[in-house]
Amino acid sequence: MLTMIEEFFQNVGALDAIKVTLLLAFSSTSIATILGVLFGLLLEKYHFPFKNLVIRINRTLMGVPPVVIGLVVYLLLMRRGPLGSFSLLFTIRGMIIAQVFIITPIISGTVYAYAAKFAPQVRNFAKTVGATPLQTELLVLKEMRSEIYFAIVSGFGRSISEVGAVMLVGGNIKGRTRTMTTAISLLKSQGIYSEGIMLGIILLIMAFIVQTIAEHFKKEDIYDENF
């Protein structure tokens, strides 16, 4: 049994794929969280010409096929592209860029939708108690932490399950840019279904563990505030 497991990890390159998947998911989600939360709150707070157009574009990007984003990023990073001199194509950094483009609209759109409902009330309350602008925005973030948590989890879920964009930008290179999802796709194309299913189960377990840990810290935060 142990020999079969060892052969599975060696043949598929599962350990490297797990490392790349986690690095890619956490890095891209972290960057997208900063950009998405900031953009979502600013979009709700300020009024400017063509704001409705910006909102519609963001909502469109929330559902755009990842492979389309992957193609655009590929064209930007290819040797003859505008960013070709940075040699980011077929690297983890290039894959992170692609996923940031995919995840950021999801987080910003979700944050904006919730902020449009709750932020004006919070700001009115903060104004009545004489809070400074910084204190007001911190209060908005505090009151929306559950919604922001949901947005982050949604972005992480999209990141860890994405195939098309990372396949195009990363090249699915074994030991370097191969993720668990691209490995599953490769195994399926080769007709090796059993190993693909095993890798899929491992991916589900990883996602469940990350979700459980995040939920634990969320509950601890609520508990600390109440007591």
Full-model pTM: 0.88
Query: For residues 167 and 6, is the Cβ–Cβ distance under 8 A?
Result: no
- The answer to which of 58-62, 119-123, 213-217 has the lowest mean pLDDT is 213-217
Share of the chain above pLDDT 90, in %: 53
How distant, in Å, are the alpha carbons of 69, 148, 213 from that of 30? 19, 13, 16
Answer yes or no: CATH 1.10.3720.10 is held by domain 15-226: yes
Parse the chain into domains and list their residue ranges.
15-226
Q: Which position has the token pair 């840990």? A: 213
| Confidence band of 147 (pLDDT split at 50, 70, 90) | confident
Q: Helices 133-143 and 92-128 sit at what angle, rounded to 10 degrees?
A: 110
What pLDDT, on a 0 to 100 scale, did the predictor assign at position 168?
94
| Two structure tokens written together for 207 | 């996602």
Angle at the Cα of 200 from the Cα atoms of 21 and 69, rounded to 5 degrees: 50
Could you report the per-residue pLDDT of 48-96, keeping only the tens digit for each? 999 999 999 999 999 999 999 999 999 999 999 999 999 999 999 999 9
Query: For residues 96 and 28, is the Cβ–Cβ distance under 8 A?
Result: yes
| Two structure tokens written together for 180 | 């668990």
What pLDDT, on a 0 to 100 scale, did the predictor assign at position 191?
87
Q: Which position has the token pair 């992957």? A: 70
Mean pLDDT of 209-224: 68
| Confidence band of 227 (pLDDT split at 50, 70, 90) | very low
What pLDDT, on a 0 to 100 scale, did the predictor assign at position 217?
64
